Structure 1
Amino acid sequence: MLWNVDLTLVDTAIVTRDAYAEAFRQVTGRPLVKLAPANGRPDSEIVFETLAVNGVVAEDDHLPRFLDALTTAFATRKGRLTAEGRMMPGAKDALKAVAKLDGIVQSVLSGTIKGNAVHKLTAFGLHKYVDFGIGGYGEEVYPKATLLQVAQGRAKDKYGTPFTSANTVFVGDSTRDVQAARIGGAAMLAIASGRSTTAELHEAGADLVLPDLTNPSEVVSAIARLTTPTPR
């Protein structure tokens, strides 16, 4: 079970933008004027577009320097997450309910870099349900569909079970998440809690769409419908 972070489990947009502004200033020596929209993309992609829309020609060392600065800037602001951010409705109960299912391993497939994903979920007490070691994150310069396959490989290495579209569910809120699941090889449970509408998520090819995570029984039922037992 792979969870997207932003607008699926938590919303920390204010703190994230502030951290981006600080990282941009550190790397370029200039104030951030415009931050490229996330739209389900990884931080590595957002960094390059942010540099471009602010008139900065990207150099070879810009990405690693920016990601390092973003990690530090976010960490220094982690105390603001609960005050200026929010947990998405039903997120904790959904994670808790899924954790009780036999044979389920929960991790993260997010455009957010790993350190920041850990801070975001820890701030709201969601980290205890997640194995961060087998996830896919925004500092890895791959499309999200490839990150999904990377996460499946990490899970196989750790748990000894092959993970395919038959036993992998990705939960996300954007049409890009849906595309990643379809290309990468996972069933898609879309949550209409972000900027994509229910109709857009269905049209993109989501297997199931829920309005939110507030009914954990619906989430558990959806997982049961989307997975099949793997022979041992």
Structure 2
Amino acid sequence: MRTLVLWDIDLTLVDYSGIGRRWYTEALTAVVGVPLKHLPSFPGRTERSLAREFLTAHGLEHSDEQVERFFAALTALAEQDRPALPALGRALTGAPEILAELATRENVVQSLVTGNLPVLASYKLEAFDLHHHIDFEIGGYGSLSEHRHELVAAAIAQSSAKHGEFDSVVVVGDTPHDVAAGLHHGTTTVGVATGRFTAEQLVESGAHVTLADLSDTPAVAQALLASGTR
């Protein structure tokens, strides 16, 4: 059976807590020169959704052009911080091992559904050498839409176009937003309680499988691949 595994990044594979606040604050100053008054809630959100809320909350135009300017500022900040990212965050326990393990399975393709911009996604994983086993070309990224389920749709369509049809699709993330996006398209959803939400909250949101973390590689691999046969 061929399986597509779509990973969330922040607080699922890596933890860069605090960096989003700093990048958004500095991007706001760079784009429009005003101080921070409001910071949106980040978990499970897409970059396009966050940018629109952020700009609106500061009384600023949130047209596509302005949002793209904001994205450019975020990208510049990530480029600036790229050499220091290993010291600014950490890979979550078990993340390197499970990515490497799934990469040994000929019938598994790994990509992303993440609220991050594509370049931020690449840098965040590259910092901890997690990028080798991910097909970035077919991911669903936060620049695409304010709605996370549209990121899942994009990732599935691009994955199928490149690799052929899959028997199962598994969406993995740490928030109810990740779960809801997967459920919207009938995928198997796996909640990982390594972020701001408890295992109980992820179960309540509809996750088919809930994991405390990614530390037990064989058990996680079995859960991800067996869950696709539900």
TM-score by length of 2: 0.93
Please name the residue that 2:219 is paired with: 218
Q: Would the aligned equivalents of 2:47 and 2:146 in 1 still touch at CA under 8 Å?
A: no
Question: Partner of 1:55: helix, strand, or coil?
Answer: coil
Partner amino acid, structure 2, of 1:76: Q
Q: CA RMSD in A?
A: 1.6
| 1:23 to partner: Cα distance | 1.3
Please name the residue that 1:162 is paired with: 165
Question: Which residue of the other structure, out of 148, 151, 165, is the alignment partner of 2:152?
Answer: 148
Equivalent-residue separation in structure 2 for 1:140 and 1:224 (angstroms): 28
Question: Partner of 1:168: helix, strand, or coil?
Answer: strand
Q: Would the aligned equivalents of 2:49 and 2:147 in 1 still touch at CA under 8 Å?
A: no
Equivalent-residue separation in structure 1 for 2:132 and 2:36 (angstroms): 35
- What are the ranges of 5 or more consecutive residues in structure 1 without an aligned counterpart? none
| 1:53 to partner: Cα distance | 2.4
Q: Would the aligned equivalents of 1:15 and 1:81 in 2 still touch at CA under 8 Å?
A: no
| 1:60 to partner: Cα distance | 4.5
Q: How many residue pairs get matched? A: 226
- What are the ranges of 5 or more consecutive residues in structure 2 without an aligned counterpart? none
Q: Does residue 34 of the first structure (1) align with residue 38 of the second (2)?
A: yes
Question: Which residue of the other structure, out of 109, 128, 134, is the alignment partner of 2:132?
Answer: 128
Q: Would the aligned equivalents of 2:169 and 2:228 in 1 still touch at CA under 8 Å?
A: yes
Please name the residue that 1:12 is paired with: 16
Q: Does residue 185 of the first structure (1) align with residue 189 of the second (2)?
A: no
Equivalent-residue separation in structure 2 for 1:214 and 1:93 (angstroms): 8
Equivalent-residue separation in structure 1 for 2:68 and 2:26 (angstroms): 15
Partner amino acid, structure 2, of 1:177: D
Question: Partner of 1:40: helix, strand, or coil?
Answer: coil
Higher strand share: 2
Call closer, same or farther: CA 1:155–1:210 in 2, change over 3 Å.
Answer: same
Deviates more, 1:83-92 or 1:117-126: 83-92
| 1:142 to partner: Cα distance | 4.7
Partner amino acid, structure 2, of 1:74: A
Once the two structures are superposed, residues 195-214 of structure 1 have per-residue CA deviations (whole angstroms, 9 ceiling, x without a partner) of 11111100111000000000
Question: Partner of 1:129: helix, strand, or coil?
Answer: coil
Please name the residue that 2:81 is paired with: 77
TM-score by length of 1: 0.92
Give the share of equivalent positions with the same residue, in percent: 35
Q: Does residue 227 of the first structure (1) align with residue 215 of the second (2)?
A: no
Equivalent-residue separation in structure 2 for 1:216 and 1:83 (angstroms): 25
| 1:80 to partner: Cα distance | 2.1
Equivalent-residue separation in structure 1 for 2:118 and 2:81 (angstroms): 16
Once the two structures are superposed, residues 96-123 of structure 1 have per-residue CA deviations (whole angstroms, 9 ceiling, x without a partner) of 1111123100011100000000000000
Q: Would the aligned equivalents of 1:42 and 1:138 in 2 still touch at CA under 8 Å?
A: yes
| 1:177 to partner: Cα distance | 0.5
